[in-house]
């Protein structure tokens, strides 16, 4: 299986940085797309949403975006209108979105990426806030320190 992985990344986002670090902790150097500098095309964004099996609304980011100013909380807006908003304001695209041979997923929390990695973790990993996610043997640790 190939380890061709792409992360749609925002280096200003802690969750995105943690997700990228978990990918690298598996010995994989992903293709990093800073989507605010290089937004996906509409066709690609629609494909990613479809492959992730989510609705466009599930990919919308509210915090630190023009979500409220644009009235995007209006449940009557259709998928096309939401995608139009994401195309006009890429900051509305939640992150990190990860594409791997095992699927596409919005990795919030960052540990969600572990389901997409074809390679095991190579050692201990703690998030930027100090939360231990992977132990010294490369095994996933639960929220209270128990192994999963």
> Which residues touch 132 (CB under 8 Å, ≥6 apart)?
124, 125, 126, 141, 145
d(CA 119, CA 31): 16
Q: In the annotation, is 13 catalytic?
A: yes
CA–CA distances in Å: residue 38 to residues 1, 18, 146: 28, 21, 39
Kindly name the residue from 5, 7, 10, 13 that is annotated as catalytic.
13
DSSP percent split of the chain into helix, strand, coil, nearest 5: 30, 20, 50
* DSSP-derived secondary structure letter, 55: -
- By annotation, the residues acting in catalysis are 13
């Amino acid at each position: 299986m190939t380890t061709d992985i792409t992360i749609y990344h925002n280096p200003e986002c802690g969750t995105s940085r943690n997700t990228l670090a978990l990918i690298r902790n598996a010995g994989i150097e992903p293709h990093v797309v800073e989507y605010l500098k290089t937004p996906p095309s509409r066709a690609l964004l629609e494909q990613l949403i479809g492959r992730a099996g989510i609705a466009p609304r599930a990919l919308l980011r509210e915090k630190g975006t023009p979500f409220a100013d644009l009235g995007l909380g209006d449940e009557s807006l259709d998928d096309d209108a939401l995608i139009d908003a994401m195309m006009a304001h890429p900051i509305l695209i939640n992150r990190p979105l990860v594409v791997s041979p095992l699927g596409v997923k919005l990795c919030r929390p960052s540990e969600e990426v572990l389901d997409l990695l074809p390679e095991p973790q190579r050692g201990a990993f703690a998030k930027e806030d100090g939360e231990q996610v992977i132990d010294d043997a490369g095994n996933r640790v639960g929220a209270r320190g128990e192994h999963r």
